[in-house]
Structure formats: structure tokens, C-alpha cells
Structure 1
Amino acid sequence: MRESARAVIGSVCSGFTELPAPPSAESGVDGPIGWPGYDSARARAASRTGESESVVCGVGKFGGTEATVIAWEFGFLGGSLGRRTGDRIEAAFERARELRTPVVSMIATGGSRMQEGMAALTQLQRIARQAALTRAAGLAQVAVVRDPTTGGGWATLGAGSDVALALPGAQVGFAGSRVRPSGDASAYTAESQLASGHVDQIVPAAELGERLGRWLSLLTGADGQPAEPPSALGCGELPADGWAAVQAARAPSRPRAESYLDAYFDWREDISGDRCGGVDPGVRCGFGMRGGVTVAYAAQCGTATLPSGFRTAARLIRLADRLGIPVLTLVDTPGAANDPAAERAGAGAAIAEVFAAVAGASVPVTTLVIGEGGSGGALAFAHPERTWVTPDSYFSVTSPEAAASILKRPPEEVPATANQLRLRPQDLVELGVVRGIVGR
């Protein structure tokens, strides 16, 4: 049995104060298009649920963070969106901007209300407008995708949120169960949406309140100051030549991004996926708490970066910029994936997104090269004025192997080519490419 809107609210936040329902402009019998029996259906839904509409809106506290809440009551005509629903959601967003609070949408809806025709469908435009105004105001939006979340509820506040959390096993998709093609239904699940990069995390209901508290504290906890580069975790000795630098960066025992993130942050939460159908396990993005202050991170994990990885990083940097959260990027990749699949997935455009996000960020971006810095796929993650390197890293116009191939040199000349590229940490400082070498 699905939980009611008020039960869900009571399980995740405290001190909830409901917002008054705004006056409705709706007039006439049986709604805007005179659907026979619509007034009676609404009256039965109200009697059954104790609610006068399909959403309950108010303000409550998640841990120590106040937020505006929009919770769907699926028992009221399948949580469908009608004109009065739009009135309440619009009023809730307006109140969030007045109070300067983030918005938490706890969605359970079958879509637009058939009994109101196009008057119902156009509520999606109203909701999209309110979400856009709230984004422009620099306020975070978190969605909790409950069962089911389909139609316009998913296509506006669900998929359009800054962070999307989903309950396990929830039905999630634009097409509802009664209108989608017959056959495999696995694509319309929270788990499938996570795998496809459209949902950030799947959270058990019992953990939802705590997780929302963590997320809201992260998304509202910045102080605007630049992130300090992490300390080096690996070898502290500088390499004697270029080839030694490459070998040190490629050593299996060298600390990777996960170790750096764990050492740098007190705790953190990842986002997942590019919202375009892809997830790159070789890129970790999210927000972490360090000494009571939030820092966003985008970290390469030592593999060739996929287009979805670049798009996820760009998404993270743009979100952090809008919320005023400084960014830390960790560079560690032999380069961008360059196989046919990567090209078809838009490698060039995806890399361009990260270059543009870093270049256009108004918040400070700090970069540390912790391993391989291979060509433009690595440089896209790096800030041109705030980049540091570890002693066991290198940064190069391309890999020594690729450089030798381009110059038509035999394989045995790869080490010599590495030396000529001046890719060692100390070379990079001398060339003015980086600001310095971090110590342990």
C-alpha cells in the first residue's frame, strides 16, 4: 500500500507547516471542460484521502535545514495534475523564493488529469516556469521519485531536479503503464533510470529522511571560498626524467581519486549520470563536507573518460556554480575515450561542455593532477590559473606513445619522447602550466 502524502512528510521532516491553499480561478460545473461526473469524482477522492487536492505543500526541517515541501497524494485521482494542483505548486515555489529555501518534491503521480483536458496539460508549463525562476534565484531543487512517477511529474520536477533520489522498485518513466508499448517493462524502473544516468541515487524509504538532511545541508553549506588542493598521498619524490614521471603516474599502487576524496572530505554524496542516458564509472562527481563547508568535486578515476563522464562533470560544475559552491577537480586519465562508440556519443561536444563550464564558472575551481594528465581530455577538467600537481603525476599534450606514433618514431623511442615532452611536475611549474607541486 502506498503511503499518503502526509505520512511521507511525517517520516522525513519535522515541524511541518502546511501552506494555505491559494484561491482557485476555476469556475463552472465539472471543471474547465465540463467533464461529466468530475466534481463527484473529486468529492469522492477528498472523502477517501482527507485531502482537497493531489498535492500537500508546506515548509519543514530536514535535519537542520529548512525546505519547502511539495508532496503528492497518489490516492487523490492518481496524483494527477490539474489546474488546482498547479495553483498549489506555483504558490509553493513562490513561497520558497520568499523564504530562500530549497525545494523538495516528493512525487507520486500518474500524469496530467484527463478530466481537465489541455487545461491540465498546460500546468506543466506553469511548473517549469516556477522551477526555472527558482533555479535563477540560486535555490536547490531535490526530487524524491516515489511509486509511480510518470508523465509530466517526471518530465518536470523529477527529471528536471538538481538531485533526483528514487525509492527502490519505483515505477519511473515518461510513459505510464497504461499507455506504453507492451513488452519489457524493466526500462520503466528506478533501477533502470539510475543505470541510464537519469537518477542520482536509490534510497530505501527508511533512510530517506537522513539522506535528504545530508543533501540539503550540502546544497546550502558553501562559504564561497576556494577549495584548498588536497595533500599528496603517494610518492613524495620528484621523477628524474619524463619517462620516470609516466611510470610513476601509471603505477598500480598509486593512490586514486577515491582515496583522495576519502582523505579530503569528512563525508560526501555522489551524483550519478549525465541526464542524457549515460553513466561513466570512471568519473566521480558530487558534493562533500569539509570542516563544515561544502565543496563540489569532479574526479577522474584513471580510466579513459567517456562522453557521459564529461557531461556529468559539466552538470556538476554548472550546478555548483549556480548554488555558489566552490569546485575541486581531480585529473587522472590517459585521455578521452576515442573509439567509434565515443565519437558517436559526442566526445567532442561533451569535452567542450566541460571546458565551457570551467571557463564560465563564477565560483572558484581548484584542480589537482593526481596521476595521468593525458591531452585535452585531462585539460578540460583543469582550471587555467588554479592547478596543482602531485609528485607522482604528469601532464602532457598527449601520451608519449601517441606522440611517438604521430612523429613516426619506433616504439623504442617512446621513453626518449617522454623526456622531450617536458611533462614532469617540476617541468610544468617551470613552464607556468601549474601553480605548484603539493606535498604530503
Structure 2
Amino acid sequence: MAERLPARAALDAVADGFAELPGLPHSAGDGDGPIGWEGYGAARARARERTGERESVVCGTGTVGGVPAVLIAFEFAFLGGSLGQRTGDRIEAAHRHAREARLPVVSLIATGGSRMQEGMRALVQLQRVARQSALTRAAGLPQIAVARDPTTGGGWATLGAGSDVVLALPGAQVAFAGSRVRPPGADPAAYGAEEKLAAGQVDRIVAPDELRDVLGRWLSLLGSPAEGPAEPPRALGAAPGPPKSGWEAVERARSPHRPRADAYLDAYFEVREEISGDRCGGTDPGMRCGFGRRNGRTVAYAAQCGTPTLPAGFRTAARLVRLADRLGIPVLTLVDTPGAANDEAAERSGAGAAIAEAFAAVAEARVPVTTLVVGEGGSGGALALAAPDNTWVAPDAYFSVIAPESAAAILKRGPERVRTTADELRLRPQDLVELGVARGIVAP
């Protein structure tokens, strides 16, 4: 179980100069509440005396890593950090202030869910919170959630899972179902931060002593977009002149010694942070997505790593492009895949719909998208990440309507004709430029 810090201690751990928003509503004088729950007023009074807080959330402004932000911190010792009418009032006030002051929102969550003693009046606060989050999202302001222990119920399903970036403390309970309402014999791991990371629902597990720095980097990255399109990376490696044949281009791209996405990302960015997963149960280790600083400004990236791209990878890339688009951050994509995964698991996970989502995200983006093909460009699984009219190619890469082996098989040609088929497909870097598919071949 993660350490349960009080709200003020959690704020002190990540922020400098925190100041609570003035005039926030609280429930003193509300008696036994909207449904007359016997003893509710006394329970709130005890919670105030025990914690020194007037409600289950503390809302204000502070700086994190030098970046001003609105901060929302839950006090779990105040009725389990539950959401009631006044909690909703406070969170709404915090989001309104964020939009008025053009500040990002950081939510430090520790809640057991909605407050039973207020009945449906408490539950409908989730609609209010979701609306405020949506308005802040529409205003182009980033939202980062930190899932403390526990982050369950409606707090997870609104402020938590609905944020742009979700960080979690090690060992924290992170789940919609709270500990007392889970099925008998349920696996506790399914309700923890680590499993949520594996299932693509959390972006990163962060140790408490690293949280301030990680939050500061994220806020800095999401708040300082580069101007104009990202420049394509320079070529890495040493290709000895243009490939003479299509098959030579394929062999170069498939070489185990060719630089991969990680090498390009490391050379291109000074610092970067990654998102992880598609938010609906899947991750793809062959797709790297995140935000990086280049020359002091931020560029978003989605990079294939040379493996068949899984449906979760396409959905994660689409999520990245849409987030960058909303925040006005240009996007760089690195194409390197033999194609989309085509096994039974991929089909059952919605390969077609996931690829369509990636195509749509790139097509709809208002920010400029730049693409560099760094290795294999295999069919639609590669094209889904490619920028129309702004795709470049590395000297040791190729891009093809289909892999030469598959093309030969479809055309009922024997294996001995795979190499000539590669030539006929005109997939070499210089062919791509001549065909108008690529703008140019990047230099070392």
C-alpha cells in the first residue's frame, strides 16, 4: 500500500508557493445534508476537527518545477476523500480559475468515491466534474492526474482516467471499484497502479521522491510548443550511397545494425517524457509516444520501433496526435514497421478500427505533422502514421504498398521472383521522391 499523505503534505511535496483559492464553498451550516442523513453534520464536524480542512479537497494555485498551475488535492482523512456537493463546487471553481488564468490543472487524487450521505446529489457531482474537465480540455489547457492511494470510484472515472496524462504512485489502489465492493475472491492486482500501467490506463508509475521533477517536466513540455512544423531528423548510420535495387533497399531497412527509433529520438530531443497505452486495455512496446524538448521547445512524437504494430499501438498514436493537436504542439512521426499485426489477436482487438483511428487523427490534425521513414514502411500499417505532403525518408529505408514477399505471393509468383518484384514496386528512397510520395531523402 502506498503512503497516504494528507492533502497539504502532498501539495508541499510537489509545489512551491501554494495559495488556496479564496472564497471556496464548504459544508458548515448544511446540517445533515440534502437528504437529511442522520449524524452527517456531526461526521463532517469531526472530519474538520481531525484534518483541519473544511472539505475533502483543497484547491489553489502554486508552481511546479517553475510552472504555475492550478492544483486540486484530495484529503482522504476527510470522509474518505469522498465527492459531495461542496467538493463539486470547489472543483468547478478550480477549473474555472484555470481557464480564466490560462493555467494547467494538476489533480492529486485520493478518494473512495461519491459521498453516500448525500445520495444522488453526491453522484451527480461526477457530471459537473466531467463537464468542467471537458471545458478545460476544450480551452486547450493540459490536465495531469496523480493517482495516490486510493484512487477509486467516480474520482478515478472523471478527474483521474479523464486526464491527458495519468501518473500513479507505486502500490496505489487505482480502480473504479473500491475495496469494499469488489467481487469475492477478486485478484487485488487488477485494482492496482502497476496492473493499470500494464493495461494501458496509466502512463507511468512515479516514486514519491521523483514526483515533483516529473510533474515539472510534464508541465514544461505541455506548455511550450514549438512554432511551425518539426524538422525531420538527420539520418543516422552510414548508408553507402543510394541502393541500386529494390531488394538492396529492403535488405538495408531490415539490417539488425540499422539505427532504430530510440536512437533517432535520443539524437533529436534534449529531454522527453512518454505516454503509455491506449486507455482501453492495451499497450504496444513497439510504439513509442510522448513529448520531447528540442531547442527549448516541445515537439510530440509517435515512433514505430520496427515490429508489427498492434491495434493498441495505433490507438496510442492516435491519442498522442489528438492531445498534441489540442495543445497546439507539432508532431513528428517515425515510420518503421513491416506492417500492421495481422494475427488473430490483432483482428479480435480491432485492427481495422485502430488503423482507421490513426489515419483519422493525422488527417484531422490542425498542427503540422512531419514524418521520417527510418526503416521499413510496410503498407497501410506504416502509411497510417505518415504525414500527407510532409514525409521524408532515410537512406536506409523503404516504403511499399506491400512487402515484396507478400506481393509475389498475391501475384502467384515463386520465391525466386521476390527480388525482381521488389524492383518493380519502386520502393527505394529515390523512387519515393520521384513518385512524389516523399519530399526528400534526409542527409546524415
TM-score, normalising length: structure 2: 0.98
Q: Does 1:381 align with 2:385?
A: yes
Shift of 1:14: 0.3
Q: Does 1:274 align with 2:273?
A: no
Provide structure 1 residue ranges, at least 5 long, that are not aligned to the other structure.
none
**d(CA) in 2 for partners of 1:48, 1:355:** 54
Q: Residues 234-274 of structure 1, C-alpha deviation per residue, up to 9 Å, x if partnerless?
A: 23321110000000000000000000000000010010000
**d(CA) in 1 for partners of 2:218, 2:369:** 21
Partner of 1:192: 195
Shift of 1:319: 0.1
Written as runs of structure 1 = structure 2, the 5 A alignment for 1:8-87 is: 8-23=10-25, 29-87=31-89
Written as runs of structure 1 = structure 2, the 5 A alignment for 1:129-168 is: 129-168=131-170
**d(CA) in 2 for partners of 1:360, 1:108:** 36
State the SS of the aligned residue for 1:417. helix
1:74 maps to amino acid: F
Shift of 1:379: 0.3
**d(CA) in 2 for partners of 1:205, 1:431:** 53
Indicate which of 233, 238, 248 corresponds to 2:236: 233
State the SS of the aligned residue for 1:385. coil
1:344 maps to amino acid: R
Contact 1:28 1:34 survives alignment (8 Å): no
1:314 maps to amino acid: A
Q: Does 1:422 align with 2:426?
A: yes
**d(CA) in 1 for partners of 2:4, 2:106:** 19
**d(CA) in 1 for partners of 2:28, 2:391:** 58
Partner of 2:91: 89
2:246 maps to amino acid: G
Shift of 1:27: 7.1
Shift of 1:28: 5.3
**d(CA) in 1 for partners of 2:379, 2:110:** 45
Contact 1:404 1:414 survives alignment (8 Å): yes
1:140 maps to amino acid: P
Written as runs of structure 1 = structure 2, the 5 A alignment for 1:32-431 is: 32-183=34-185, 184-236=187-239, 237-431=241-435
Partner of 2:5: 3
Contact 2:234 2:443 survives alignment (8 Å): yes
Over aligned residue pairs, what C-alpha RMSD do you find? 1.0
Shift of 1:24: 6.1
Shift of 1:149: 0.2
Report % sequence identity: 73
Contact 2:44 2:79 survives alignment (8 Å): yes
Contact 1:21 1:88 survives alignment (8 Å): no
Q: Residues 384-424 of structure 1, C-alpha deviation per residue, up to 9 Å, x if partnerless?
A: 11100000000000000000010000011101100100000
State the SS of the aligned residue for 2:443. coil
Contact 2:226 2:299 survives alignment (8 Å): no
Shift of 1:21: 3.8
1:16 maps to amino acid: F
State the SS of the aligned residue for 1:437. coil
State the SS of the aligned residue for 1:436. coil
Moved more, 18-27 or 386-395: 18-27
Shift of 1:29: 2.8
**d(CA) in 2 for partners of 1:20, 1:412:** 77
Contact 1:224 1:363 survives alignment (8 Å): no
Change (3 A) 1:257 1:28: closer
Change (3 A) 1:24 1:209: closer
State the SS of the aligned residue for 1:328. strand
| Aligned positions, number | 440
State the SS of the aligned residue for 1:10. helix
**d(CA) in 1 for partners of 2:222, 2:328:** 9
1:148 maps to amino acid: P
Partner of 2:441: 437
Provide structure 2 residue ranges, at least 5 long, that are not aligned to the other structure.
none
TM-score, normalising length: structure 1: 0.99
Q: Residues 264-310 of structure 1, C-alpha deviation per residue, up to 9 Å, x if partnerless?
A: 00010010000010000000000000110000000000000000000
Shift of 1:22: 3.1
**d(CA) in 2 for partners of 1:254, 1:223:** 29
Q: Residues 20-51 of structure 1, C-alpha deviation per residue, up to 9 Å, x if partnerless?
A: 24346997530000000000000000000000
**d(CA) in 2 for partners of 1:142, 1:414:** 50
**d(CA) in 2 for partners of 1:191, 1:370:** 32
Contact 2:30 2:41 survives alignment (8 Å): no
State the SS of the aligned residue for 1:153. helix
Q: Residues 200-244 of structure 1, C-alpha deviation per residue, up to 9 Å, x if partnerless?
A: 000000000010000000000103311000000023321110000
**d(CA) in 2 for partners of 1:346, 1:6:** 44
Contact 1:223 1:325 survives alignment (8 Å): yes
2:108 maps to amino acid: M
Contact 2:331 2:368 survives alignment (8 Å): yes
Contact 2:4 2:148 survives alignment (8 Å): no
**d(CA) in 1 for partners of 2:145, 2:25:** 26
